[in-house]
Chains A and B, each alone.
Chain A
Amino acid sequence: MAERRLTNHIRTLRFHAGEMTQAELGERIGVTRQTVAAIEQGKYSPTLETAFRIADVFEVTLDKVFRWSEG
């Protein structure tokens, strides 16, 4: 089976949300700035709850933020 990994478009979504900072996003979803950076870099997979919170902030569906794509 091909290896798959979680990718995300948070950096792009932040850009389109008026260059929202990682700290600002972190504050809105209840995690630290470093955790937002880790999620963006694929070093941490957030809980389902945090994933939905991120999608809520950008007012998009979950699949517009995260993708389960082939590595």
Chain B
Amino acid sequence: MNMAYREKIAWLELAGQVVAYGGFFAAVIVAERMGGVSLLLFIGLFAAASVIRMLIEGVGRFVIAARSGADARVPADERDRAIARRGAAIAYYVLMAGMILVGLVMPFTASGMKIVSAALLGLVLAELVRCSIIVSSYRRGWHG
């Protein structure tokens, strides 16, 4: 597959987030059903998820850069920048919707831990949308 370097990086970021934060939210849900999530457990799980993500992305970027050769050193061109802008622009709306929900609606209906979880979910969803838009724009084409 003739994949652009930045498309490979977007796939890597997508995979890192799905694995790390998918695991994090699954663990939070399980802990919640087993009697509640303490602040210490929540922070510990989030720290573990962040370390896993950093490891996946760190090792992945090293491997991709090594296998891509000169492609990894070439600066982003106009197509890369147009696709990155599209991803960020669409993810912005997801982030705004999440923040409106968390900041303006949930304080009247939910507890502190649920608000924090929802805020993190909003951030992760926005990042997932950004990476997904980038990947699909490279695969299916994007005319800027």
Which A residues have a C-beta under 8 Å from some C-beta of B?
A: 30-35, 37-38, 41-47, 50
Contact = CB atoms under 8 A, between A and B. Distances in A.
Given A32-B71, A32-B74, A38-B141, A44 B2 contact: no
Contact of A44 (B7, B71, B143): B143
Which 8 residue pairs are nearest across A and B when measured between Cβ atoms?
A43-B141, A34-B4, A31-B77, A45-B143, A35-B79, A44-B79, A32-B77, A35-B77
Given A31-B78, A47-B78, A37 B2 contact: yes
Interface residues of B, number: 16
B134 to A, nearest CB: 13
A34 B80 CA distance: 10
Nearest to A6: B143
A70 to B, nearest CB: 17
A44 B77 CA distance: 12
A56 B7 CA distance: 29
B34 interface: no
